[in-house]
Amino acid sequence: MNYEGKKILIIGGTGTLGQLLTRHLLRQNPQVIRILSRDEYKQFEMQRMFSEHQSKLRFLIGDIRDAQRLNRAMEDIDFVFHLAAMKHVPFCEYNPFEAVQTNIIGTQNMIQAAIQNGVKKVLFTSTDKAISPSNTYGATKLMAERLISAAEYQKGPKQTVFAAVRFGNVMGSRGSVIPLFYKQILESKSVTVTDLHMTRYMMTATQAITLMLKANEISMGGEIFVLKMPTVILADLVDVLVEEVCQKHNISDEILRKEIGLRPGEKRYEELMTEEEILHAWETSDMYIVPSPFKENILERPYPEAIKMLPSAVNSHQEQPITRDTLRSWIREEKLV
C-alpha cells in the first residue's frame, strides 16, 4: 500500500511499536502523521528523536477515553493505527475497570470517530492473550477484537475498513522482560523469573511492523491477522540474555536466577487462535487470517497466496521452540543488548 501524500493517525504512537511504525511510514512521504497519546514527556522525547521530520509530524495530547478529543484528532485522516492500550497484566488485574475504560470503551470511541470522519482503513493491535483469556488484559482485548469485527456489520453505508492484528510478545518493547532482565543483570547480578518453563510466542519489533503494514494492505474488513510466530522457552531467553549482557559488559560474576511463581492472571503458555477460528481461517507463508464472522459472501480465495488453514498446533507448549542460536541472532539484529 502506498502512503505517499496520505494523512495518518497513530493512537498510542509514542511506544516502541509506534515509534518504529512512524519511522517506516515516513519513508513513504505521507502528508502528515499525527501522534496521539496522553504522556507529554514521551511526546517530548519522540519529538526530539524525529526532529528532522517535524514538518510532517503533529503531536497531540489526548486520551482514547475522551471521545470528543479522538473525534477532533481524526478529522480528515485517511488511515488509523490503533496501538494504545493498558497492556501490563498485573496492573490490569488490580485495576480492571481502568483496563475496561481504555481497552474496550476507548476502542469503541475510536471506531465511532473513524466512521464519523470517513477514515479509509483502521488497524487495531491485539494480543494472543485474547485467546481463552485468564486475565483482565486478555478479556478486554478479546472484547475489543469483537468490537472491531462487529464494526464491519454496524457501519451501514460507510466505507471504513476495520481489521485487527494479533501479536505475541514483542522483543524489547517498553515494559517487556528483555529490558527488565538487562537492568537486573547489571544492577543486582540476578534475574527474577516467574517460571523458567513458561513458553511464549515472540516476535521482533521489525516483524511486528511488517505484519501490520501487510495486514493493512490486504484487509477487506473484520479480519484478524496472526503472524506465524515462533515460541520461546523463558529459560532459554534468560540464559542467552545473561551470556550476551555479561559478554558486553565484561561481567564475570555468577548471575542468579530466582523463580517467584506466576503473577495474578498469568498463564504458563499462550495460544494464537481458538479451535473455532482454525476451522474458518486462511493461511499464507507468514500469517493466519481469521475472516470476519459477519461477512456473508466470502470469496473462494479472498487473499493473495492464501490457502485454507491446515490443522496445526497454535499452542506455545505444543510447538517446537526456536534454538538459542536463533534467539541470540534476533537479539543482536534488533540491538536489544
Told to judge if 158 belongs to the known catalytic residues of this protein, a careful annotator would answer no
Three-state secondary structure readout of the chain: CCCCCCEEEEECCCCHHHHHHHHHHHCCCCCEEEEEECCHHHHHHHHHHCHHHCCCEEEEECCCCCHHHHHHHCCCCCEEEECCCCCCHHHHHHCHHHHHHHHHHHHHHHHHHHHHCCCCEEEEEEEHHHCCCCCHHHHHHHHHHHHHHHHHHHCCCCCCEEEEEEECEECCCCCCHHHHHHHHHHHHCEEEECCCCCEEEEECHHHHHHHHHHHHHHCCCCCEEEECCCEEEHHHHHHHHHHHHHHHHCCCCCCEEEECCCCCCCCCCCECCCHHHHHHCEECCCEEEECCCCCCCCCCCCCCCCEECCCCCCECCCCCECCHHHHHHHHHHCCCC
Which among 129, 158, 189, 228 is annotated as catalytic? 129
Indicate which residues carry an active-site annotation. 129
